[in-house]
Amino acid sequence: MIYLVTKQPKLFESSVYKTLTVEESLTMLNNAEYLEYDSETNGRDARINTLLCVQFGSDKEDFQIVVDTSTIDIKLYKGILETKLLIGHNIKFDLQFLYNYNIIPRRVYDTMIVEQLLHLGYPSGIIKYSLKEIAFRRLGIDIDKTVRGEIIWRGLDNTVIQYAAGDVMYLEKIMELQLNDCQKNNLMRAAQIECQFVPCIAYLEWCGIHLDTCKWKDKMATDLIGLDNAKKQLDSFVVNLYYQDKNKYSKYVYINLQGDLFEGFDTEPKCKINWASSSQVIPFAKLLGFDTNIKDKKTGEAKESVMEKQLKSQKGINDEFLNIYFEYQGKFKTVTSFGQGHLDAINPVTNRIHTIYKQLGCISGRMSCGSNQFNTDLAKFKGMPAKSITYVNLQQLPADDITRSCFTSPKGYLWSSCDYSAKLNYSH
């Protein structure tokens, strides 16, 4: 049975649901051993967007309760949210919106995370982990998600309330099936640890990280100088080869024979290779004697590449080129990956970067950070083009002191850095 808790009188008459008071809903929720939980918001950024409604479900008690948070204070449910075990799907997202109200759930079960745990080692893309995919795979139920994109403008009408309730209708059943699989595969302890870690990841994302913009801009200026110097070295390398064998290398240089009205003539040969374009570097590398043929790992088809691993395996052919080319590549990656994108990613509400952490982001079980998704909510908030801000990778920052020193802690706080030993104890 679907219930709605709201203060909007216009929603009271419905054949889809019954209305409850806050007190009545709290009584029902208290009677449940654990609760399925989900929320609907007007965007994906917990520091910018707001809750529209939250929904609780209990398979054993046979109810779904939708709470209209536009008229009901979510803090009235703080006790429930902080004491009951919450079953959610990608509940890391939902927790961050609760943190805005100083509601800190610690007991959670995440159906997405456990499903990922059960399929570690599968090639990327083979198994999908949305609630829709898991419900169909596990229960044979097709959850209609077409309403999700309409919630902001529809408001809490009958269709939206049914949709919201549907997201907390099957989580308990999915959990039970997953736990059976965990039991069979001796993964119960692993599942417990992963679920305990979910609030940690949620809190890490919600807190964000402070970036000293002045230091970062100084670093960017230094990085550009380094990139320019590396490019000049490569250009000089090509020009020197041209002087040694003009016929062989003439297509990689140009000479300005027309001159310039204001600056006169400069007939010195100039390198015309765009070093950031692998399609332009490949024929030059082949001319130097490098084998650029590799096999695509995904398709198995032959292709050409000037990746570091491919070329550095051929030391002795032209080590001078290898050294200066990959020096340029490193400088180029620093400028393009650790520059303006980090400044754009700063949330003006918190003055911090809030990125995405995936605790099972790799098939090996390792964490990953960042995403190719666009943070359209932040871009809109800052008045920037929708596809201008991404979720930056904070796990693979350059290890130099200048870069690391740009990330600072607020006054009265300290950075804490920790690692663990991977040594194994083989004692019997």
The answer to whether residue 118 scores a pLDDT higher than 60 is yes
Q: Please give the Cα distance from 195 to 106 (Å, whole number).
A: 10
pLDDT score of 209? 94
Assigned token pair, 62: 């046979």
Indicate the helix (H) or strand (E) that contains 347: strand 346-347
User: For 126-138, how does the pLDDT look when each residue is reduced to its tens digit (9 = 90+)?
Assistant: 899 999 999 999 9
Contact 311, 278 (CB under 8 A): no
CA geometry: angle 136, 139, 143, nearest 5 deg: 45
Q: Please give the Cα distance from 282 to 272 (Å, whole number).
A: 14
How much is the average pLDDT of 351-367?
87
pLDDT score of 173? 96
Contact 369, 395 (CB under 8 A): yes
Torsion, Cα of 362, 364, 365, 370 (10° steps): -20
Question: For 191, what's the count of Cα atoms within 13 Å in the CB-facing half-sphere?
Answer: 22
The answer to whether residue 195 scores a pLDDT higher than 90 is yes
Percent of the chain with pLDDT over 70: 95
Contact 1, 62 (CB under 8 A): yes
User: For 150-182, how does the pLDDT look when each residue is reduced to its tens digit (9 = 90+)?
Assistant: 777 777 788 888 888 989 999 999 999 999 999
> Within 10 Å of residue 88's Cβ, how many Cβ atoms?
26
Percent of the chain with pLDDT over 90: 72
Q: Which domains occur in the chain, in start order?
A: 2-208 (3.30.420.10), 210-353+398-428 (no CATH)
The answer to whether residue 68 scores a pLDDT higher than 90 is yes
Q: Please give the Cα distance from 190 to 376 (Å, whole number).
A: 35
pLDDT score of 10? 62
Q: Is 16 helix (H, G, I), strand (E, B) or coil?
A: coil
* DSSP secondary structure letter of residue 262: T
Indicate the helix (H) or strand (E) that contains 244: helix 213-244
Length of the chain: 428
Question: For 376, what's the count of Cα atoms within 13 Å in the CB-facing half-sphere?
Answer: 6
Q: Please give the Cα distance from 2 to 19 (Å, whole number).
A: 9
Predicted structure pTM score: 0.86
User: For 395-416, how does the pLDDT look when each residue is reduced to its tens digit (9 = 90+)?
Assistant: 888 888 999 999 998 888 888 8
Residue 94 amino acid letter: D
Residue 21 amino acid letter: T
How much is the average pLDDT of 315-328?
94
pLDDT score of 428? 45
Q: Please give the Cα distance from 25 to 19 (Å, whole number).
A: 9
Q: Is 57 helix (H, G, I), strand (E, B) or coil?
A: strand
Q: Give residue 267's pLDDT band: very low, low, confident or very high (50, 70, 90).
A: confident
Question: For 238, what's the count of Cα atoms within 13 Å in the CB-facing half-sphere?
Answer: 24
Cα–Cα nearest to 96, from 23, 43, 31: 43
